Amino acid sequence: MITQTLSVTEAIRTRRTVRHYRPDPIAPELLEELLDLAVQAPSAWNMQDRSIVVVTSDEGRKALSAAAFGQPQPLEAPAVLVFVADPAAWSATNADIAEQAVASGAWNERFQAMFDSRAEYHALREHGLLRENAVKNAMIAATYVMLAATGLGLASAPMNGWDAELVKQAIGIDPDADLAIAVMVTVGYGTGTPPHPGRRPRERAVFAERYLS
């Protein structure tokens, strides 16, 4: 395990979206640590209905840059993490998820029965929200990556401007597969630290009990 250089609080306060990178490669053990932290992200019912495709090849990053309308981040950063959401993951037995949770004492028999029933997922399907649910879970993992990267001395940038079909093509996903591209995150060593763009006062975004427009 590689020691984080910053606390979580410090990582949150100092993280910046970095769009330009030095060509320095990421040490394999550092990238492994980052991915180990990413898969610790929570997901609804611990369904883990998201995957991460790690793209480090010149060819792969070039294809992702083209899919992102020519944005330079994938070309410059040594690694691009593509977060793939699987809206149909819940329909498999996923016995290993329940077995691990029960064995660790995290779930009791009642909770396992609720997991096995998939009642919430049937409701999500009825309301057309399976994709949205899976994308939310993938975004949580992406947030973990960006904060962990900051703590490990790496820069990152979330990317949400791309052609989903071209991204799928670049990472080998069948165009007919029921999978969604949630976000791409570039990771590497930035050419500099951008200034904080600022945030609105907390009073504009945080409300007590009821939302105020």
**pLDDT, tens digit, 9 for 90 and up, residues 92-146:** 999 999 999 999 999 999 999 999 999 999 999 999 999 999 999 999 999 999 9
Model confidence band, residue 6 (pLDDT cutoffs 50, 70, 90): confident
* pLDDT on residue 202: 94
User: In this structure, what token pair is assigned to residue 157?
Assistant: 């940038």
Amino acid letter for position 24: D
**Cβ contacts of residue 124 below 8 Å, gap of 6+?**
130, 133
Identify the residue whose tokens are 């996903």: 173
User: 78-96 pLDDT, tens per residue?
Assistant: 999 999 999 999 999 999 9
Amino acid letter for position 41: A
**Cβ contacts of residue 44 below 8 Å, gap of 6+?**
120, 133, 136, 137
Separation CA 102–CA 119 (nearest Å): 19
CA atoms within 13 A on the CB side of 149: 28
Beta bridge partners of 186: 80, 157
- Answer whether residue 1 shows pLDDT above 80: no
* pLDDT on residue 2: 73
pTM value is: 0.95
User: 45-87 pLDDT, tens per residue?
Assistant: 999 999 999 999 999 999 999 999 999 999 999 999 999 999 9
Contact 192, 76 (CB under 8 A): no
Separation CA 43–CA 52 (nearest Å): 14
User: 183-194 pLDDT, tens per residue?
Assistant: 999 999 999 989
Measured at the CA of 105, the angle between CA 32 and CA 111, to 5 degrees, comes to 105
Largest pairwise CA distance in the chain:
52
Pairing of strands 79-85, 50-55: antiparallel
Separation CA 167–CA 162 (nearest Å): 7
Measured at the CA of 162, the angle between CA 132 and CA 135, to 5 degrees, comes to 15
